[in-house]
Chain A
């Protein structure tokens, strides 16, 4: 206890003497930045996840072709989950003589658990006044329908339609369904009804193709996870758990990229903070060697000294961590305050788990970055108090770097949970530092040659760089590291945002048009051109099932497991490959034997699931007829391009005998939304699928994530500044002494200021060139392997990256060392004596 009190007193005295300030500020900043990032990311992440869950109308959905066992509800209640059921199937809807295939969804109270169901009292309205958020589900005996069902059945709101034997009064039009745009299906317009009416329709018979969904949600993700873990063993081949990733590939991809970027930002902040802490600790250690020798002469043993310094670090760690957590919370609160109104989602309260990374950061930074440079202090020989020249055996620098790197690995792994990212970045950094040291050494040698032929300011600046050769090398590499990480992150953010925008360029098709009969094709094209709307291509389409593979019928279990074997597929043919499709195995039709067998090109994921290879023989059942085809190629394709895409594309004309209807995708601007009515009036059997709302939702999420990404950059920038500051001030005492001596010997203030500018600008230049080269390589590698986005060069980076580095480091160095020039030399010399 006495030792703890003494260590506290020593800490306070060290603090008062200014010995601990940089170390404490570096630690505080590390914890603050990490806490800010962690808490903000956690809140943003949970908000985004929650928002994205609205695509499922739940956090998770248990989907089955069989009724969901009701006894599972007890387990859900035990975990305090919210739940609702939806039963989906296609069925004919009748109104008088008119009939139309509708996509029926019967729901229970509580639907949707996530997201909002928007309903309207006017069909095809875009007027926000007329669109409201449903607070309940359709009452018994009522139905809410897609607006396009009304003209198809020739009815209006308030009229009655029938589903099977049950008459339902249409009371509302569905404007937007949270889980409506999951996958386009030509099952027909939506009809939403109360699940209590399901029995009375009489449409559910043994053998009916029904999709049963159990929607689940919880405020506590851990409860949900625990529930799913317990449920997992009870699931049969019929049941599948669906989450955002499986239901929304496009959104999941955007989120995964954002997550990677955020963890990268956090990791870089930690790295920079760690470097700053290590530099500050080295300085602290070098200033404490004599103090330790004195303590030893006064009778303190090595153990006592180790204990005293460890306890001081512990105190420092606890105080800065607590303070950092509070400041971090304020930081994220300030950020939220700043951009909260712009965020399209309401942020949730942060979880306690978000405090773990910053708390761990403080501890790990102390143990791994601060402790190694201080480790040797207890071994300082007491004799050093009498003989200053005695050597001190510090922990070797490569051990310090290695320990720091291991700490970084640990923190990054905890932060990102991504080992590939962690190891690749760390390896990259090791290479960067090694190459940096080599390059800096070469540059310094070059400078030495030049300094012999230069003026006084230059000579002073170059001599200073040469004299503190070791320090110059370290500073150059540290500056280069900080600048390159900042540049990489800026460049990466630009690439990322551009890539997202490229994914969703303006005028991305936002509607699918299906079921166009061959004889209507010209009429539809004419209507489109009358309204200045264009489309790339109309695809012929038939619905069929894959029944046999190499003459064998897949068994029931395989059908249950494989979606493409379970349901009817959209089949098409085309003679030319869209730009978003790529043949990865086999051959395309231009080298397919003409007049030979029918060929089929299969999408790679479907081929993997079913286990298909080029040359396999497939049999399809299309409207009762049979079509035999050979797998000619395997294709990769981008599902998120919003162009019509198919799992199975046949060789040209091979589907002509199966009475195909045509489909396409097209961009309809919001002000031309009424064009859908024109189309449906032209041919009520046309099916129009509106994807615009879903696209708008994705755009909103992408813009929100990119705002978060920009904020992360600010945090990293602060950490970068701190590292540079620590590196500059680490050489402060020596500089002060040199400047005082030079001034005492008659150098003018102007001369010294000029040489300081030159010295730090030169450091900035060397670091800048190294940093830009390194970030270019790092960026290319990250784009290619980590973020998996198109690779782009950054020529602008060379110009402004180097300029910014020169100016920034030059200004920072001069500012940090201004006291060496402004304080009278006599004062400095007396202080140093």
Chain B
């Protein structure tokens, strides 16, 4: 298994401790180091497994701690946006609030509604959180720090994150609750639609870099792609907030309409897992955005991991700001926004980028800045023009008349 996990000190340490012996020397994780390992020859896979598990445990736990920190941060910042304080009673500055929440959720009664499909009902929270954690596998969170630098990294991210559509629908269907059902249906409609512009917006970046690997994308950014691909960034942040059910596209769990959508019936730690997945998705998506658009871990002076965290929390802050400001769209408007606004814009972006890449095959820095200018212009003109068309053509009518023909079930 080349490329996977290598170059990681922790992994190498565990692996060599367990499996390094003479028969194992040579081009392996331990290099030429000759020492007695604990395991006999032929049992290296155990060492590999143990070392991998160790590093995965470390990563997931750090990530979950960060998610807890993020929930605290979101609530404090939302409070400040709303001219109030936010949680401040538990621990210093309220820092232990997420811990208190977790304890509360763990000790709550775990309810399963009578009409629920028990298997799916219990499976859904797991199916919700696993994709979020899987994305971490390909996310480069520092110089030479990644679990796997697979050559289809970004494709892996896109593929894995679309699984939670299924999880939401599972939850909505299995609950046996009509609010949850509404939430599940909305989730499918919305998430599937927004996959398209999000993926197409990434294509522009791929045209520049010529690689799907996350590490390559970071290293290819001489100018941050947020400048080089402003339109793509706009589409990506709008689309991914729709995929994460963040405001203004949070109608999957629209509190004022369908109570809390697909997880209305969940309680206890299952509900906690949904929340964890949601907040984790914010961090993960911020991480992907930082990688794709803001040079990932690269930055002067400070260590690379810190730079990555700073960028992640910068994007998270923007998402909190959006959440504090915007009201929610209606379902038909959300679909209009995806198909009539973001989708054509992403096509335009792709086309313009393709032409640029064709014309300047090996762009110099000056040419890159020229691209920045052109793309900014395209972005502004595109957004304004499409807003205009959007406004003139009108949205879907709010009232459906005459009332639909309803055929009663037999």
Physical interaction between A and B = no
Residue ranges of A at the interface with B (Cβ–Cβ < 8 Å): none
